[in-house]
Chain A
């Protein structure tokens, strides 16, 4: 079982560049999330989706965009990268509402904006 696959693992961007973080899950989960984690901090929710075609903002959405065209994929787009977006990014999915509220995480993306 692949679970949640997140790419790339590492990336260095220059200020003003754009990129897309890819996230795919093969567990047929409806709920998917993008978090960022700064050093010594907890996870902050960027965007989430409760199903294909439905997305909503989390706590820290500024500077990011998402789409959910299929159940499996939930890419995160960074437009005009800024140093404040240097962080570790985690994608996660869950089958919330089925009695199993466990979050399954991808292995993370270490992003540096210089």
Chain B
């Protein structure tokens, strides 16, 4: 089993739709969870951290399920500018060492 696993997609959704990504992780001791966004041929940028209680930032909602060892990202009212690859990131044996998923590609269509 991969340490961090994501559906590679691509997810093709119409503008205005709601889309959800899941990410599973194998290390039950992981404490830090993040979603990063990566545009084509660009560096990753932090979208949001994922807290135990869940968190929301505008149209984006992140949830953590420790029992099932997965995190999720929900994007509401999707925009064309949301088209990107979304990377799930979980800390490894040390808090400062991060394990990256392969990413889920999202394509928003007009």
Interfacial residues, chain A to chain B (CB-CB below 8 A) = 31, 35, 40-45, 48, 50, 58, 88, 90, 94, 96-97, 101-103, 105-108, 110
Are the C-beta atoms of B100 and A101 separated by less than 8 Å?
A: no
B62 at the interface (CB under 8 A from A): no
10 sample A-B contacts, Cβ–Cβ < 8 Å, listed by A number: A40-B8, A42-B87, A42-B102, A44-B100, A48-B96, A101-B32, A105-B43, A107-B43, A108-B42, A110-B41
**B 89-110 to A, binary, CB cutoff 8 A, 1 in contact else 0:** 0000001111011110000000
Are the C-beta atoms of A42 and B100 separated by less than 8 Å?
A: yes
Helix, strand, loop or mixed for chain B's interface?
A: loop
Query: Which partner residue on chain B sits nearest A91 by CB separation?
Result: B43
Pick the contact of A90: B4, B8, B43, B102 (CB < 8 A): B43
CA distance A78 to B109 in the complex (A): 41
- Give the distance to chain B from A8, nearest Cβ to Cβ, in Å: 15
- Give the distance to chain A from B84, nearest Cβ to Cβ, in Å: 14
CA distance A110 to B95 in the complex (A): 28
Query: Which partner residue on chain A sits nearest B2 by CB separation?
Result: A42
Q: Which residues of B contact A44 (CB under 8 A)?
A: 100
- Range of interface residues on B (Cβ < 8 Å): 20 to 34
Pick the contact of A105: B4, B34, B44, B103 (CB < 8 A): B44
Are the C-beta atoms of B98 and A103 separated by less than 8 Å?
A: yes
Are the C-beta atoms of A45 and B97 separated by less than 8 Å?
A: yes
CA distance A43 to B36 in the complex (A): 11
**B residues 20-59 in Cβ contact with A at 8 Å:** 32, 34, 36, 41-46, 49
Are the C-beta atoms of A42 and B95 separated by less than 8 Å?
A: no
Closest 4 pairs (CB-CB, A-B): A42-B100, A105-B43, A43-B100, A96-B96
A50-B96, A96-B95, A103-B98 known; A42 and B46 CB under 8 Å?
no
Q: Which residues of A contact B45 (CB under 8 A)?
A: 105
CA distance A105 to B98 in the complex (A): 14
Query: Which partner residue on chain B sits nearest A50 by CB separation?
Result: B96
Are the C-beta atoms of A43 and B44 separated by less than 8 Å?
A: yes
Q: Which residues of B contact A43 (CB under 8 A)?
A: 44, 87, 100
